[in-house]
Structure 1
Amino acid sequence: MVDSYLPEDELKAFIESLPTRRLAAGAVIRNEAGQLLLVKPNYKDGWTIPGGTVEAGEAPQSACFREVAEEVGLTLEPGRLLVVFHGLQMGIWGDSTYYIYDAGVLPAHAVITLQEEELTAYEWAAPEDLGSYFDQGQAYRLQQAFRALQTGAVYEFSSDSPAR
């Protein structure tokens, strides 16, 4: 129990009044040619990278690689954090934080098995072609992930950042 100067019911009411933030995580999975693995969900338009929502009691990195295993059938060694994106007042999603992790380079013999309940296709895309698959914001986030792979840095920005 946390020590508090407030009675427990008042502390609970205060905590429940605090803002909530949705968390999600995605993986940059590359092939030997340096292309990025993209997946096509059946529940929304467009392409995305493997990943998904962080569940209660789960860390973002764990969620990312759990989702990778579920969505594309790959059990990969969790890699380092590349990007943290804060989506501020993103429509029905409200405030959210999206983590992008390095999932390494797949060998040519790796087999991708799509989760048919959520995904309809996968494709490999060159980093310079991301603008034809994604809106400006998502393309920028993934370009920053590739930049992080080259520099060793972690990039953090938000939807109200001038560069986005």
Structure 2
Amino acid sequence: MTAAELPRIATPRVAAGVLFFDDEGHVLLVRPTYKPHWDIPGGYVEPGESPRAACIREVEEELGLTVDVGPMLVVDWAPADREGDKLLFIFDGGHLGKDRQNRITFQDGELAEWRFVATDNLNDHVPARLTRRIRTAVSARQKGQPAYAEHGSEPN
């Protein structure tokens, strides 16, 4: 079989982010300088890089923190109209205490601000599908079992 005869396969963009929690269980959000809404720390996976390694790299590049992320909480199949197929991973960053919060420094100019937000208030900061993805990840963390999602929610 030649390359031309092979069936078409998906070639999704892959991104990875992390959820950090404060003492009240609120989630760390960051405000990028290049888009109109808040996000979680993370970014796209580079060629040859694992999603976990990309997550660790992005946290260091964006926040100046060296972290060892915990388990994967959710993988989300989330194609976007202008970007095509996407696989989005969220990892557990665990508790981010005051000492580590005080060490946050914006390294690369991509971020302007950070804050902890209650999951009930996510809609005020992030798009609906990211709200769903974060809530799915928080639920997976509480259950102690990773989740699979499509457009942010677990399929029925």
- TM norm. shorter chain > 0.5: yes
Bigger CA drift: 64-73 or 116-125? 116-125
Query: What is the aligned partner in structure 1 of residue 21 from structure 2?
Result: 30
3-state SS, counterpart of residue 74 of structure 1: coil
For residues 6-39 of structure 1, give each alpha carbon's deviation from its aligned partner in whole angstroms, at most 9, with x where no partner exists.
Answer: 4xxx33x456954311000000011222221111
Query: What is the aligned partner in structure 2 of residue 69 from structure 1?
Result: 60
2:152 counterpart of 1:148:
no
Q: Call closer, same or farther: CA 1:161–1:145 in 2, change over 3 Å.
A: closer
Per-residue deviation, 1:114: 1.4
| C-alpha separation in 2, matches of 1:160 and 1:104 | 21
| C-alpha separation in 1, matches of 2:32 and 2:152 | 27
Query: What is the aligned partner in structure 2 of residue 122 from structure 1?
Result: 114
Identity of aligned residues (%): 36
Q: What stretches of structure 1 of length at least 5 have no aligned partner?
A: 1-5
Q: Call closer, same or farther: CA 1:147–1:14 in 2, change over 3 Å.
A: same
What CA RMSD, in Å, does the superposition of the two structures yield over aligned residues? 2.2
2:34 counterpart of 1:43:
yes
| C-alpha separation in 2, matches of 1:140 and 1:160 | 5
3-state SS, counterpart of residue 129 of structure 1: helix
Per-residue deviation, 1:138: 0.9
Q: TM-score, normalised by structure 1?
A: 0.85
Does the CA-based 8 Å contact 1:50-1:68 persist in structure 2? yes
Q: TM-score, normalised by structure 2?
A: 0.89
Q: Give 2:140's aligned amino acid.
A: A
Does the CA-based 8 Å contact 1:32-1:108 persist in structure 2? no
